[in-house]
């Protein structure tokens, strides 16, 4: 096998509590990650050496800042004699939208390299390598519905079948994650009392009103239209409407 095509799925956060800032500069969180059908398409092709990136999306970075390149470099450190890879990403997931598109792309390349080169890495090993790429990348190794804690790398699968339709409303602007965390830091003490999102998910009737997103209190004042979208969805019958991550 010289090439492989993978779907690189988006995610949403159902509730997101930012608990505290760690000594390493990251933040501990408590959230439900939910994988969606909505996806990019990632095509991987073997080449002799290096990592070549292509996309028709002009906002898609083609340098080492790209999670796809980081995924190849991470695998290469484990397997120094590994060949190269050409990665083409057909982008559908917008950037800066809280949907995890970049993280998902990185995980897709990890899994694709594992299959293309027959590395036989377990899902657990892939998850550990994914952590070296970014905090949200480990979730996309297995996807589904998972409780996320730590900086997103502590994952517990939630075996609950969700019979929901998710509607994504994506504004014509993005939210910078670094700005969001810096703006939020003054109010972190408000999230010390942590809800048990996983426990709430296992109830017969899920109390969605308890799934808050801490970023709403700083993103909505800066972008009131997001609050208007949320309120409109709720008024028109949505069981739940909220910001995903710091973006959509």
For residues 76 and 70, give the distance between their C-alpha atoms in angstroms, rounded to a whole number: 10
d(CA 33, CA 130): 16
The one catalytic residue in 2, 11, 86, 163 is 11
Catalytic residue among 40, 111, 136, 214: 136
Separation of first and last alpha carbons in the chain: 38
Q: Which of 202, 247, 205 is nearest to 102 (CA)?
A: 247
Task: Answer yes or no: are the C-beta atoms of 55 and 92 closer than 8 Å.
Answer: no
Q: Concatenate the DSSP letters of all residues of 167-187 into one string.
A: -----SS---HHHHHHHHGGG
CB under 8 Å to 55, separation ≥6 — which residues?
A: 62, 88, 89, 90, 91
Burial of 173 (0-12, 13-18, 19+ CB in 10 A): exposed
Q: Distance between CA 204 and CA 223 in Å, rounded?
A: 35
Whether 70 sits among the annotated catalytic residues: the reply is no
Would you state the structure tokens that stand for residue 186, as one six-digit string?
């003054």
| Catalytic residue flag (residue 115) | no
Cα angle 57-59-65, degrees, rounded to a multiple of 5: 115
User: Catalytic residue numbers?
Assistant: 11, 136
């Amino acid at each position: 096998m010289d090439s492989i095509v993978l779907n690189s799925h988006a995610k949403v956060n159902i509730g997101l509590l930012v608990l505290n800032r760690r000594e390493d500069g990251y933040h501990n969180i408590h959230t439900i990650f939910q994988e969606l059908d909505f996806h990019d398409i990632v095509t991987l092709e073997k080449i002799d050496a290096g990592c070549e990136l292509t996309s028709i999306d002009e906002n898609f970075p083609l340098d080492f800042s790209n999670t796809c390149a980081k995924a190849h470099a991470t695998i290469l450190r484990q397997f120094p004699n590994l060949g190269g890879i050409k990665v083409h990403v057909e982008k559908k997931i917008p950037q800066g939208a809280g949907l995890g598109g970049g993280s998902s792309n990185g995980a897709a390349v990890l899994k694709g390299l594992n299959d293309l080169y027959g590395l036989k890495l377990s899902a657990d090993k892939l998850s550990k390598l994914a952590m070296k790429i970014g905090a949200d990348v480990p979730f996309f190794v297995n996807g589904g519905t998972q409780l996320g804690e730590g900086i997103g790398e502590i994952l517990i699968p939630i075996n609950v079948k969700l019979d929901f339709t998710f509607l994504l409303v994506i504004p014509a602007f993005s939210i910078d994650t670094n700005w969001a965390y810096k703006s939020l830091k003054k109010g972190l003490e408000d999230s010390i009392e942590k809800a048990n999102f996983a426990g709430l998910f296992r109830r017969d009737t899920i109390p969605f009103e308890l799934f808050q997103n801490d970023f709403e209190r700083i993103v909505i004042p800066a972008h009131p239209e997001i609050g208007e979208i949320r309120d409109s969805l709720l008024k028109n019958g949505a069981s739940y409407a909220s910001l995903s991550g710091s973006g959509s």
